[in-house]
Amino acid sequence: MSSVGVVLYKKGDQPGSLTAEWCHSDYGSGTGLATGGPVNDFEGHYIIRYYDNSGNFQAERELNIQKSDNFYQVSWFNNGVISGKGIGIETEDGLSVGYRDLNAT
């Protein structure tokens, strides 16, 4: 199994921000910080920066989270082009999302 991952988003300390803990079949694991989103909900549009476990910058993406009934549809964009899709559920720990890179073969 390649080009798949999971990420847990939690409300950040600053309004409109999310923190992330992620792992990916090809890239390992790390953290992230999303900014520019709504104050009260996960649903919205963010800019997110991802880091590896050593704190080294890995990627910056646009992150779009849309609520659909009792789950969330999540998309990542790189330079305006969709690069990943996922689906998630809200838990007591945050928003848990499984995803796949779209450029995977």
Q: Read off the pLDDT of residues 62-91 as tens digits, 9 standing for 90 and up.
A: 999 999 999 999 999 999 999 999 999 999
Mean pLDDT for all residues in the chain: 94
Predicted confidence (pLDDT) at residue 7 exceeds the cutoff of 60: yes
Beta strands in the chain (DSSP E): 4-11, 18-24, 28-35, 44-52, 57-68, 71-78, 81-91, 94-101
3 state SS of 11: strand
Q: What is the pLDDT of residues 21-42, one digit of tens each?
A: 999 999 999 999 999 999 888 9
